[in-house]
Amino acid sequence: MDESEQDRRHKERAKKHKAVVDAKIAKATTDKGLLLVLTGNGKGKSSSAFGMVARTLGYGRKAAVFQFIKGAKLVGERAFFNAHPDVRWEKCGEGFTWDTQDRQADIANARAGWAKAKEALADPDVHLVVLDELTYPVNYRYLEIDEIMPAIEGRPSMQHVVITGRAAHDAFIAAADTVSSIQDVKHAFRDGVRAQEGIDW
């Protein structure tokens, strides 16, 4: 087959493909505030959520981020977004449980953080709420799922919420519109590479 015949067939296939894609797009006509859950053991959950913060700010809208585990250490995303007038950025934890080694302090931080998150979940001006690493205090029972779900489900109808963290509770998965489970195929850490600035924190 000569080049021009290949090009002609390619064009024909692309045309058919476009018709299929266009038909699917035409069917998706609803707008709504989404609940997204980014879970799984692979890298890329929080950084994806912060990507959506950037997208939101790009349209001049407001975002609120509640970091339920990390807090003590300055991370690049906080350094960048905290300076933005349209972002509320709250640290709701002092670090991993194996670092803090203080269960009561972790519980108090998680509960104080959740009280702040509830404010954002009631504010229609906040276009996107990120509940980063919320899965952990829920799985440890520091926060009750029965207290969390009503606030998420009763939020303003156009507000988007992203929950990140491993082993997401079934109630989060059931309520979510979009769920991605990021698979851990390889991670440099297992080859002895320490966390790299700008990539990992």
Which backbone phi and psi does 146 adopt, to 5 degrees? -70, -15
Pattern 44-83, binding to Mg ion, x per CB under 5 A? Answer: -xx-------------------------------------
Alpha helices in 28-169 (DSSP H): 45-58, 76-81, 97-100, 103-120, 135-139, 145-153
The per-residue b/e assignment along 157-180, b for 16 or more CB within 10 angstroms, e otherwise, is eebbbbbbbbebbeebeebbeebb
Nearer to Mg ion, 12 or 140 (CB): 140
Q: Which is nearer to Mg ion, 46 or 109 (CB)?
A: 46
Rule CB under 5 A: is residue 127 a binding residue for Mg ion? Answer: no
41 binds, among ligand ATP, Mg ion, none (CB under 5 to 8 A by kind): ligand ATP
Shortest distance, CB of residue 13 to ligand ATP, whole angstroms? 36
Q: Is 36 left (phi over 0), alpha (psi -120 to 50) or beta?
A: beta
Closer Cβ to ligand ATP, 60 or 80, answer by number: 80
Give the SS3 label for residue 88: strand
Give contact residues for ligand ATP (rule: CB under 6 A).
41-47, 133, 164, 184, 187, 189, 195, 200-201
Question: 43 or 84: whose CB is closer to ligand ATP?
Answer: 43
| Residues in touch with Mg ion (CB under 5 A) | 45-46
